[in-house]
Amino acid sequence: METKELLFNLPPIIGLLPLIIYIVLSFKKNTHPVVNVFICVLLGAIIVKQPILQLGSVIADSMGSFLALIGFIIILGSGLGAVLSKAGVAENLVHILMDKIGINTERKAIIGTMVTSISLVTLLGTMAGANAIIAPIVIPLIAAMGITPSTLAVIFHGAGQTGLFIGPFSPPMVTLMELTGLSYGKILLYAGLPVSICMWVVTYFIARRTQKNTFGKYKFDIEEKETGKEYVASSETKKATVAFLITFLLLIAYGIAVKGGASYAILIMITVAVVTGIAAGLKIGEIVDTMFEGMSKLIWLFVMFVLFEPFLMFVEQSGAFDALFEMLQPLIVSSGQTVFALVTSLIGIFGVNGAAVAQAMLMDSLFGNMVGGLGIHMGLWAAVLLIGSQITSFAYPGGDMLGAMGLAQSKDVKSMLKLGYSIIVTLLIVVIALSIIL
């Protein structure tokens, strides 16, 4: 991309100012992510002397960007989740998974809830949406076993998040495939599975410890009669569940076989929603209305992703990324692959906050040139991007952490931070190990 002369002939490194301001704003309370990004877009435009009156056309062009595509996939996932909920499929899947495991001990209750959360997040491509569906169904079941809200919150956050790391068309995986050029299988091998397996192990043991420490201190606020309530799926729900699973799995298998890109995920979401809805006896109009209702909840995220494209473009046009690369290259070259991987992971986890996909794009914009220049293994870079962009939610009590607590009826932040930093330390060890192996 052509570098532009900056306002008042400022040095290129000043082009990082919008990025720095975005990071500062993202950590402030009572600020809206869309407003934060728009402020930085305006500042970036001023710095590179982009005419403000032409900013509308720049934003219009960004509607066709990769970030806008990811944003659309995310809101479609929310729409699909709404259809599955209305059709009763989500509730049926939860009961099937929990019944198969047979919840009769604390250990099985923890494992069953973990498996359920991971499975539904993988299928829906959204952690908050999947856990919101699961919570009212599993709480009466696990409450009877004495599981505490603190333990459930740990499970929702630690296990649920990993569902996004293994789904072939989840936003993080699609983003990693685009940024690294690796196939789904290689992303899964180098990043998705190593990160997920470590998080499963840590989450299980922290959940067991949390249960031990909080048993008798906290309990769910539910009526006693709810715990004995028996669920029976209707014939329409059973048909819709079968239709959903068959259609979803076939489309995913075909997509992997033909190496379907990000746009293929759109076909999956729409087709699965329509087939499932029809199988449940819903009319086309109902299916469409339900999808739009679900999508409307995340429309702000789509707008933010559209604005993120010109935001990054203006920073790149300033020459700031190239200037930063020149400044850091001697230090990183002399330090080697391990230090590079560790430092960039830490910067991603603690230094960049916001939507995870956007974080990955920022990290790649900041350090992507160094990856090629230093000969960093692309599998290692995929793992660094995944950890740096997705694990921020474990470092601070942000939306994902507080959302998991809210759904689990927990106010125990301390247990969540213990989980978060246990996961962070473990994954940093994984980064070091991968940097030595690859």
What's 218's DSSP letter?
Answer: B
Of the candidates 151, 125, 126, which has an alpha carbon nearest to the alpha carbon of residue 138? 151
For the chain, the straight-line distance linking the first and the last C-alpha, in angstroms and rounded, comes to 31
For the CA atoms of 382, 383, 389, 393, the dihedral, rounded to the nearest 10 degrees, stands at 160
Instruction: Kindly indicate the confidence band of residue 226, based on its pLDDT and cuts at 50, 70 and 90.
Output: very low
Asked whether residue 185 carries a pLDDT value surpassing 60, the answer given is: yes
Task: Using the structure block, give the residue that is written with the tokens 């942000």.
Answer: 398
> Considering the chain, what percentage of its residues have pLDDT values greater than 70?
94
pLDDT category at 167 given cuts 50, 70, 90 is confident
Query: Per-residue pLDDT for 358 more than 50?
Result: yes
Q: What is the pLDDT of residues 240-273, one digit of tens each?
A: 999 999 998 898 788 878 777 667 888 888 999 9
d(CA 134, CA 151): 15
Residue 137 has pLDDT above 90, yes or no: no
> What gap in Å lies between CA 13 and CA 326, rounded to an integer?
10
For the packed helices 413-437 and 193-214, what is the interaxial angle rounded to 10 degrees? 150
Beta carbons within 8 Å of 333's beta carbon, 6+ residues apart = 374
User: What is the CB neighbour count within 10 angstroms for residue 399?
Assistant: 12
| Other beta carbons within 10 Å of 35 | 12
**DSSP string over 96-127:** HHHHHH---SHHHHHHHHHHHHHHHHHHHS-H
Query: What's the number of CA atoms in the CB half-sphere (13 Å) around residue 236?
Result: 10
